[in-house]
Amino acid sequence: MQYATLRLESRPEGVLVATLNRPEVANAFDTRAALDLIALFESLRPDGPHRCIVVTGAGDRAFCAGADLKERSGFSDSEWHAQHESFERMFRSVLDCPLPVIAAVNGAAYAGGLELVLCCDFAYASRAARFALTEVSLGIMPGGGGTQTLPRAVGERRAKELILASRPFTAEEALAWGVVNRLCEPGRVVDETIEVATRIAGNAPLSVRAAKRAIAAGLQTDLRSGLALEIEAYDKLVGTEDRREGINAFNEKRKPIFRGR
């Protein structure tokens, strides 16, 4: 599919690279960009050709600067609400994606850009990247999940400092606080993210999706209930072709060929 604000690249290993392609405005998302992301992520199916998604930004200056405030200039209250409903659906479509989604943060990730990173399963970042949730300095507040996803990543007290003070933070701080998993040299973040995405895509897709669901659901409940969720998911994998292929390949000392069955 073709999108006005996204550049897509399908890798033969089952990795899809989705690049936010509005570098002239630091890859900020306007209504069209939100609708493009919704269309992409709501089209992704477990039985489709892709097994892992990488999200990045065009250029080396910005991952995403958040909402395009120039488009919002002059909006009435009702127009603002209507547009934001699209933004809400956009973030949910990433958060609810059944496939693993990894952010390759190539530059600044501010406001909704950082919220997009936090909706992904995890992120790698350039050492030159910078982060912030700046909404309260504009008379609004995070509305793409930031008040919920950031505390889950960095803890309540750190999140309050960052959000209430609109405090930017560095890539090194993002790594130390758990916002990103790895720092890469400038120009290397997309390649290194694709490397781990390819590794994920090479694993049993039913197992990867089941583990992703179990982690997400288990974190919303107590440990005993989470363990029960894990075993329920585990038991469903025992009868799959991929489970038999994985064990046979291990014993035969060869690379398994997983078919998602």
Residue 115 annotated in active site: yes
Q: What is the mean pLDDT of residues 181-201?
A: 96
Q: What is the mean pLDDT of residues 163-181?
A: 97
- Residue 254 backbone phi and psi in degrees, to 5: -140, 165
- Give the three-class secondary structure for 120: coil
User: Active-site residue among 115, 132, 159, 204?
Assistant: 115
Please say if the pLDDT value at position 75 is more than 90: no
Residue 233 annotated in active site: no
> Per this entry, what is the length of the chain?
261
Which residues of 84-193 form beta strands (DSSP E)?
Answer: 101-105, 108-110, 122-126, 130-132, 169-170, 182-184
When pLDDT is cut at 50, 70 and 90, the band that residue 234 belongs to is very high
User: What is the percentage of the chain residues whose pLDDT exceeds 70?
Assistant: 100
Q: What is the mean pLDDT of residues 188-205?
A: 96
Residue 195 annotated in active site: no
This prediction's pTM: 0.93
Residue 233 CA: distances (Å) to CA of 66, 122, 208: 36, 22, 11
User: Active-site residue among 26, 65, 67, 125?
Assistant: 67
- Give the three-class secondary structure for 186: coil
- Assign a CATH topology to domain 205-251: Lyase 2-enoyl-coa Hydratase; Chain  A, domain 2 (1.10.12)
Domain ranges of the chain: 6-201, 205-251
Radius of gyration of the chain (CA): 19
DSSP conformation letters of 47-112: TSS-SEEEEEESSSSEEE--B-HHHHTT--HHHHHHHHHHHHHHHHHHHT-SS-EEEEE-SEEETH
Please say if the pLDDT value at position 1 is more than 90: no
User: Active-site residue among 33, 62, 107, 135?
Assistant: 135
Residue 135 annotated in active site: yes
User: Active-site residue among 14, 57, 112, 146?
Assistant: 112
pLDDT of residue 105: 98
Residue 210 CA: distances (Å) to CA of 98, 129, 161, 205, 217: 9, 32, 35, 8, 11
User: What is the percentage of the chain residues whose pLDDT exceeds 90?
Assistant: 85
pLDDT of residue 235: 94
Superfamily of domain 6-201: 2-enoyl-CoA Hydratase; Chain A, domain 1 (3.90.226.10)
In tens, the pLDDT along 93-112 reads 999 999 999 999 999 999 99
pLDDT, mean over the chain: 94
Whether 6-201 shares its CATH topology with 205-251 is answered no
- Cα–Cα distance measured from residue 79 to residue 83, given in angstroms and rounded to the nearest whole number: 6
pLDDT of residue 10: 93
- Cα–Cα distance measured from residue 213 to residue 206, given in angstroms and rounded to the nearest whole number: 11
- Cα–Cα distance measured from residue 43 to residue 131, given in angstroms and rounded to the nearest whole number: 29
Question: Position of tokens 């290397």?
Answer: 188
Structure tokens at 45: 């199916």
